[in-house]
Amino acid sequence: MIRLAVVGLGYVAREVHLPLLRRLEGVEVVGLVDPAPAALRRAVAESGFGPGFASLEALLAAARPDAALVLTPKQTHHAVARRLLEAGVDVFCEKPLATTVPEAEALVVQAARAGRILMVGFNRRYAPVYVAAREAFAERRPEACLALKNRPGTEYRATLENAIHMVDLLRWFCGEAVDVHGRAAFTDPYRETTAAATLRFDSGALAVLLANRSTSHWVERLEVFGHGRSAVVDAPDRVSLGQDGQARVTEMTPINMGWAHVADKLGFRQELEHFVECVGTRAEPRTSGADAVRTQVLMDRLLQAMGLPLEDQPHG
């Protein structure tokens, strides 16, 4: 039985991770952590898990978990994950692993030295529609990709928040980028509305990335082509796989997925199960800290090419 703690009890924790933990075998939740009293009370009451702790130090003094989910705001990921690793705890951290590449790299080094599992929440690599598309190109990398991620309403450092999943998927499908070019549209470079890029990978694949925050609704789409095959994903519900002039479409409807929640369709359940499995077997996760750093390095290259800032805006 793996003793697991959850650090950070915001919307995603309450709506996705805590309900999933109620269905997960081989795990005992030994503590929930959040400095906000109302959030802590609500999560304990709704999930039935506990006890609740107002600080990470209080948890470590009382419970000493084997593993922890870090679901706190991204600005705190580095400090929280570092402290957990110091305490000998395996860590699953939501993306990005840290807000800067040097901090993310430091966590990877620390985890390796301590012999700890460090996994990052790039859940799209576990989503059934993307897994099916990736399997279609398992033997040969694609020749061309189009990645699209549109969400209404811009936000602080919107491209980092919005496009990083698609950048990670492009790496997963195509390999490592050797050349990137990009442009962004913005009035405030910390709250951009549109980002576009072209990428060339070491496999020879070419890709186009488009991320927009002035759209009417959420759209996430990946198109993959090459070697007489195609895979078109309209996340999270639909994937079309083509070969030899024919296409097979799979809809992730209740008929195909049971009473599928978005947590199943977008890969949250599968990545959590994978993390628990890796904690037990000590295998390297599919989305390890080391691999996540490579995605973050590529993300920084893209931001720089687009003329967008790499770090948080200084205060004062």
140 and 245, same domain (yes or no): yes
> What is the model's pLDDT at position 316?
40
For 43-102, write each residue's pLDDT tens digit.
999 999 999 999 999 999 999 899 999 999 999 999 999 999 999 999 999 999 999 999
The two three-digit tokens of residue 113, written as one number: 């030295």
155 and 171, same domain (yes or no): yes
Residue at 265 is within a domain: no
300 and 165, same domain (yes or no): yes
For 149-181, write each residue's pLDDT tens digit.
999 999 999 999 889 999 999 999 999 999 999
Per-residue pLDDT at 183 exceeds 50: yes
> What is the model's pLDDT at position 251?
86
The residue with greater pLDDT, 107 or 257, is 107
Average pLDDT over all residues of the chain: 94
Per-residue pLDDT at 257 exceeds 60: no
> What is the model's pLDDT at position 166?
98
> What is the model's pLDDT at position 255?
55
41 and 94, same domain (yes or no): yes
Short-list 147, 89, 160, CA closest to 308:
160
> The domain that contains 36 carries what CATH number?
3.40.50.720
Quote the strand ranges of the chain, DSSP E. Answer: 2-7, 27-33, 52-53, 67-70, 90-94, 118-121, 144-150, 177-185, 194-201, 206-212, 219-226, 229-234, 238-243, 246-251
79 and 145, same domain (yes or no): no
**Count of the separate structural domains present in the chain:** 2
pLDDT bucket at 290, cuts 50 / 70 / 90 = very high
Per-residue pLDDT at 261 exceeds 90: no
130 and 114, same domain (yes or no): no
Residue at 315 is within a domain: no
Using CB atoms within 10 A of its CB, is residue 313 exposed (0-12), middle (13-18) or buried (19+)? exposed
> The domain that contains 169 carries what CATH number?
3.30.360.10
**Separation of alpha carbons 58 and 61, rounded Å:** 5
Residue at 193 is within a domain: yes
Average pLDDT over residues 28-44: 97
92 and 226, same domain (yes or no): no
286 and 300, same domain (yes or no): no
Residue at 169 is within a domain: yes
pLDDT bucket at 303, cuts 50 / 70 / 90 = very high
Residue at 63 is within a domain: yes
Chain mean position to CA 188: 26
The two three-digit tokens of residue 67, written as one number: 């593993």
For 210-252, write each residue's pLDDT tens digit.
999 999 999 999 999 999 999 999 999 999 999 988 999 988 7
Domain span holding position 42: 2-124+271-293
For 111-135, write each residue's pLDDT tens digit.
999 999 999 999 999 999 999 999 9
Residue at 313 is within a domain: no
The two three-digit tokens of residue 68, written as one number: 């922890």
- Residue 284, CB half-sphere, CA atoms under 13 Å: how many? 9
